[in-house]
Structures are given as structure tokens and as C-alpha cells.
Structure 1
């Protein structure tokens, strides 16, 4: 075959102009399988640490039991019994939290597996673990697309072994949300808009932070529409689909209860969650860093500060704008809301922006340095998460 001037093959320029497909330029299957292998190592190591710690302070000391605690119970009740039709009150007629606070996609998937013969508990874990594998693949594709194959692998390793990454093994919605968000970004960057829209809608129906992902998709859509006005309807439609997710669920809850503010009232009554512009977060950091009362509060405070610094470093590196928008908006939502302080590291896990500097640095480092650094990170992160659900007595 005769080469064109400049060393290119015939049609090379046209190929460069065509948007890559979802699986192109991502290291093909070998790279994906390596990412899944990295993920599997983190999960096996975490399970071994969980078994070692034992959880002697809890009623259910089995490994399976520790993966089905706290929020898992709420998701399971939605999956088995559905949503309530009204507010829930205690015997003194004080408003309580109920299942309407929890977004529907994860419990819907649990119900789907339950319908084919799994118990609800087993279905919850199957969905979470399957979503975790999908998240590892999506993270690899995202890191590879933006920075290269080695960054794809390091992003998987750092994310899946981060403090509180234990939720990727639990009956929580973080694994599903992470898979959908990372997959949405991959699809948007490669201009596969039908997939980006559906994944964005799925994220918006999984967690309230899906609103941040939808805004990021809107930014990607506007960028694409400005580049090619002839096909602008495709990205804009994808963004519109994703943006509809969170408002639709909140409106549905309002209609069901008969109060448009129902979801927010339930959140505040059950978990003290409300947006106070960061006042409670600042108060927690100020009090904890001044008094040093307890190593768990101190560690959470340090995680929050390090995450802020990492986000600043990431933004200084001028990342892909949709990823930056998602990270900033998601962090505003996490830091700006009142609620359980020890849940904030879990809420930060899917933000991704805070993990980029470490992933890029590890990818550029010498292999031995990168491996030793990630192993040290994983040793702490996997132990920390296991400690929180076995020894630490409060909800995660």
C-alpha cells in the first residue's frame, strides 16, 4: 500500500477526524483485563483484611453481614417492599427519614436480580460487585483516553484502594454510580452521545450527585455542538436526557407525598442533611483540628483537606473541562452540606478529580516507585475502610 505524504496511510486524515468508538485506543482487551486484575487484587486484599479484623463490636460478625449494613438495609427495603406513600413519623409525631430519600436505580436492579431467583441480599451484592468491575473498566478507559494507558491502570489502582473504597464491595450505590459516571465521561469524550445520555441518566437516578455529572455532560455537549453544528442535536439531546434525571425523581417524590419539598425534608429529618454552604464542614474541621478529639475524626479532617489540595492541583493542570466541572460541583455538594462527617470520604470517592494528580504522577514515575507508592497507599486505604465497617461503631 502506497503511503501518503508525511508517512500516513490512505484515509488516515479521515480516520483522525472520525470520533473514536467506545473501545478504540483503550489498550483493547489486554488493557481492560489488566485493569480488572488490578481491581480484583484490591478486593481480595480488602476481604482478607475484613476477615482478619473480624468486627467484634457488632451484632452481625460475618463477612457477608458487614457488607450488608447501614444504607444497604434501606436499599433492600426499597427493592423488596417499594417506596412508602407518605412521610414517616415516630410515636411523638416527629418526622423521620424513610426510603424515599434513596434514589431508585440501584434498588431497581436489586429487584431485577431478585426476580430471577436470587435472594435480595445476594442480589444487592451481585449488583454492587458487577458494577465495581464495570467501574474498573470505565476508569481504565477514561484514564487511557485522557492521559494514556498507564494512567488508566494507576487510576484504577488508586481509586479502588482509596480510603473508604470498601463501599465498592458493599451493598451501597457508590460502585454503580462510579461505573455510570466514568462510563458517561468515556462516551462523551469519544462522542458516542446515545451512550453518554443513557449513562448520565442512570447516574442521575442513582445518587443526587448525578446532577453534577449531568451538568458536566452539558458542558461536553456544548463543546461538541460548537465544533459541529450539523450534528449538535445529538450531544444536546444526550445532555437534556441526563439533566432530567434528578429533577424527575425529586418531583416524583413530591407528587407521591403531596409536598414538593418532600425529598429535602426527609433527608434533613433522617440524616441531618441540608445545604448550609459549608458551615458545618468548616465547624467540624475547626473543632477537630483544634482539639484533636479522636483519631477517626482527625483522619477524616485530613482526608477532606488533602482532597481539597488534590483538587486544586488537578485544576491547575487544566483537565478536560467536563471532568473539572463535575469535580468542582460534586465537591461543592459534599463540602457544602451538613450531615455525618464520617460519610464525607465515601461521598468523595466517585469525584475522580481528587485522584487525578496521584494517578498521573504514578503513571509518569519509574515503575518501581509507582508500584511501591500505590502499594503503600493501598495498604492504608484498604485497612482504613475495613476498620470503619468492622471496628468503628457508626454508620459509614
Structure 2
């Protein structure tokens, strides 16, 4: 990994005065990202159209699974009543709404208060808007690393991910991915305070913000160690990296604030982890996953092992691609967090969806096809497959 990729801080010294206003720069950045956002929106529109057609043919309400089932209901209940709801299952386990982080329900309540939308409608508006912002952020990261065309294809691949239908639901995945993508982009540009602030918001959105916090912390630690090794003087190194250190110190505050809130509310320092354990989301090092695979018929077990092997190969490709340290750590940490928990297996592809850097090697490979038309054709086939899979899943009984 090159020093240029690892040293993500802003060079010391005064920056030249910008020739354009912040608004002009933002407009120019959006114009550059417009193709990526448009392709992403088209992929998701195709997914919604396919689901609407399938739901209508089945005589079902197409909006129900998007805004009024599974986790969406929990978020809306928190938005309306605050944290006060629990349900006791027949096996005696207690599911508390304290398992759900507060940013999405807070936004749902705010949007519903200032618009005619219901809480469910507000959740969909937030998710769809966050999806567009996530596509923009993913494009920004891909463009920074491999050029604009890669950024466009990377955003498109994220939009046709097998469980991309969740991006159209009132869930937290799009909101979290948007915050994570822009935080990583901020690190790549040396804007550590911005990255830390986005990390705070991500930490109020999902527990997997721990992966983003780790990405910032490990990158900063490696940078400090390398610079100290070169200079052997801690004082100048720390002063020169003061903004980086401040951003890293800021990053975990959102996640910690919610964990402390649950601890105070429940009267136990480990209350949040107890709540997650009641939901079956405790960390078991992968034993539940191994047991699930062992209990499958051998063809299904073989297929799942092949899928996990493909996932591992993508990680290897990301390493061989020499992705910058924060991007690589974030992606690997998301994968690890998704696999070592004891939770419901069907949710694991959804939990890994924010790990968009895993799609960088396929994005680069797609651009090696001889013509743009072939790349577009592959993306179109993937979009249709994703739409079909999304319709089948959303019309099923289990949560994604």
C-alpha cells in the first residue's frame, strides 16, 4: 500500500483561496455524479416496478412490505411513542425496541411533523433520499480511487445487489451506507473532522457503525506509527495530525451515547448487549452460521459454502487491488460483523450490503469489457435478476 493511499490527512500550510463558492463546487460535484445517481435510480425504479407488478398480481398491497412490516414497524413505533415497547415470545425471550438505534425514528418523526406524510411514508422518503445520497457517496469513493467511470459502475452495482430491495424499504441500510460512504470519502480527502461527525451520525443509526469507527481508528494509528518511526519525535507528529486525532476521538461518540443511554435506562452497564442477546444477535464467533450450514441439505449447504467462498475471494481481490486502508478495513469489518453474530441467517446478506467496497473489483472488471454497451447489458441483466429476487422475497413470509 502506497504512502499516498495511507496518508489521508490534509497537507500542512494554508490552502489557496477557492475560486468558486461552496455552492458552486457542490453543484459541480453533483453534475459529475449525476450519471451514477441516475443509473442507480433507474435500477431501483425497475426493482419497485417489478415488485408492484408482482404484488398487484398476487392481490397484495405493494406499500405494505416496504413501510409497514418487520423492522419498519419497530422504527415507526419508536418514532410515535419513544422507547417503551417490548414483546415476550412463547419461548420466554423478550424483544425490546431498545435494540433499534434512534436516528431513523427521529428523522421519521421530524419529517412526519412538517409534511402530510405518515410515519411510514416519512420512512420511505428518508430511505429513498438516503439511497440517492449513498449512490452519490459511493460514486465519489469509486471516482476518487479509479476514475469517474468506475464510480458510475460501482454505484450501479450497489443498486443491483441481490438484496437491494431493502434500499427501497423504511430500513436503516441506505441511511447508514450514505453516512459511511461520505465519511470514507472525507477520510480519503483528509477531512477528518467531517469524517468524525458523519461517524457520530452513523453510530446513531446502526450498531455496525463499529466497522466505520474501526476504519478511522486503525488508519489514524497506522499513520501516526509510520510518521513517528520516520521522525522519532512524538510532539511534532501529534501536532501535525491534531485534526485527524480529533476526528477519531469524535467518531465513536454517537454509538457510545446510545449504548450509555440504554445502560442508564436499564440500570446495567451491559444492558444494550443483553437486549441484543435477547433478540439472538449476540456475537458467537460464527458458531450459529456453521450450525445453520450443517443443518441444511447437502446441495443447499454446498451452494452456501460456494457463496461464502465467493465472498472471501472478493475480500482477497480488494486486498490485491490495494484499496486504501480505511476503505479496506471498513469493508472487511462489515463482513466480519455480519458473519460472527448468532442472528437470523436470512438477514446476513442485508447486513453486508453497506460493504460497497467489495464491489470495486467487479466494477473495475466490468469496465474491461470491450464496449460500454456490454457493460450496460450486464448491469441490465443484474438489475432484472435483483428485481425478481426482491419481489419474491418481499412477498414471502420472513423478514429480509
Common fold: TM-score over 0.5: yes
* Counterpart Cα distance in 2 of 1:268 and 1:301: 26
Aligned length: 374
Match of 1:244 among 253, 273, 276: 253
Distance 1:132 1:92, change over 3 A: closer
**Is the 8 Å Cα contact of residues 167 and 174 (structure 1) preserved in structure 2?**
yes
Q: Cα RMSD over matched residues?
A: 3.0
* Counterpart Cα distance in 2 of 1:29 and 1:255: 43
Residue deviations 1:227-258, cap 9 Å, x none?
66544111111111112222221121011011
* Counterpart Cα distance in 2 of 1:26 and 1:193: 23
Residue deviations 1:334-368, cap 9 Å, x none?
11111111111101110123212111212333323
Q: Which residue does the alignment assign to 2:71?
A: 71
Q: Does 2:30 correspond to 1:29?
A: yes
**Is the 8 Å Cα contact of residues 47 and 384 (structure 2) preserved in structure 1?**
no
Distance 1:386 1:300, change over 3 A: farther
Q: Which residue does the alignment assign to 1:101?
A: 99
Q: 1:150: Cα distance to partner?
A: 0.7
Q: 1:30: Cα distance to partner?
A: 2.9
Q: Which residue does the alignment assign to 2:379?
A: 374
Q: Does 2:283 correspond to 1:307?
A: no
Alignment of 1:74-153 (within 5 A): 74-84=74-84, 88=86, 90=88, 94-117=92-115, 118-153=117-152
Distance 1:26 1:221, change over 3 A: farther
Q: 1:26: Cα distance to partner?
A: 11
Q: Which residue does the alignment assign to 1:284?
A: 292
**Local SS of the residue matching 1:97:** strand
* Counterpart Cα distance in 2 of 1:232 and 1:22: 28
**Local SS of the residue matching 2:83:** coil
Q: 1:333: Cα distance to partner?
A: 0.9
Residue deviations 1:5-45, cap 9 Å, x none?
xxxxxxxx999x98x99997997333211112111101210
TM-score (norm: length of structure 1): 0.86
Alignment of 1:1-396 (within 5 A): 28-54=29-55, 61-68=60-67, 69-84=69-84, 88=86, 90=88, 94-117=92-115, 118-222=117-221, 229-270=238-279, 272-288=280-296, 290-292=298-300, 302-366=306-370, 367-390=372-395, 392-396=396-400
* Counterpart Cα distance in 2 of 1:360 and 1:292: 31
Structure 1 unmatched ranges of 5 or more? 1-12
Structure 2 unmatched ranges of 5 or more? 1-10, 228-236
**Is the 8 Å Cα contact of residues 87 and 96 (structure 2) preserved in structure 1?**
no
